[in-house]
Amino acid sequence: MKTKELLEVFNEHKDKSLLFEYKPNEFVKANYHITEVKHTKIDSVDCGSGTDAWNETIIQLYESPDEIGKTEFMTVYKALSILNKVGKMKPYDMEAEVKFEYSNNKFHTAQMFVNDFEIRDSNLIIKLGVEKTDCKAKTVCGIVEELKAELVQDEPCCSPEGNCC
C-alpha cells in the first residue's frame, strides 16, 4: 500500500479504533504508540549488479510497558493527527510504499507490508504481512522459476558456483 492510500483510508475512517494484525488473529496490543516515522530512501545494487532506488515510509509501533493491560486502542483520528504532524515537518513521498515496523516478545522485529485492511464493528484493522526475500537477478543468476521449488531454502540465489557477484 502506498503512503497516499494509507492516509486516504485513515481519512475515511477517522471515527474507528485502529488495530494492527501482524499475524492471522494476532494483534498489536492496545498499549501501542507510534514512536517513529521514517522517510527512507533505498539505493540498492542487487547480486546481478542491477541498481534500483525507491522510497519507503516506515511507521514504528511500540507497546509501552507502562500501559500493559490497556484495552482502549488508539483512534484512527489520533494516528492521522500524528502522521499529519510528521508530514508538515518532513513531507511524505505519497507514492512510497508504507511499512509498519513492530516486534514483541513472541514476534521478531520486522518491517511489514500493508496487505489489506478490514472494517470490523467500530475498528479499522490494518492487516500486515512479512514478505519473503527474493532474488531480483534470477536470469543473471540462472534461476528458472520452475526450479525455485527445488532450491534448498538456506542456499542464497548467488552461491559461489552462480553466475553473479
Residue 5's closest CA among 108, 86, 90, 116?
A: 116
Contact 42, 96 (CB under 8 A): no
pLDDT of residue 148: 47
Q: Break the chain into its structural domains and give their ranges.
A: 3-131, 134-165
Going by C-alpha positions, the residue among 120, 159, 125 that lies closest to residue 141 is 159
pLDDT value of position 162 = 55
Categorize the per-residue pLDDT at 4 as very low, low, confident or very high, splitting at 50, 70 and 90: very high
- Residue 142 above 70 pLDDT? yes
Lowest average pLDDT, out of 40-44, 87-91, 139-143, goes to 139-143
Q: What is the pTM for the complete model shown?
A: 0.84
Output the pLDDT for position 157.
55
Percent of the chain with pLDDT over 70: 87
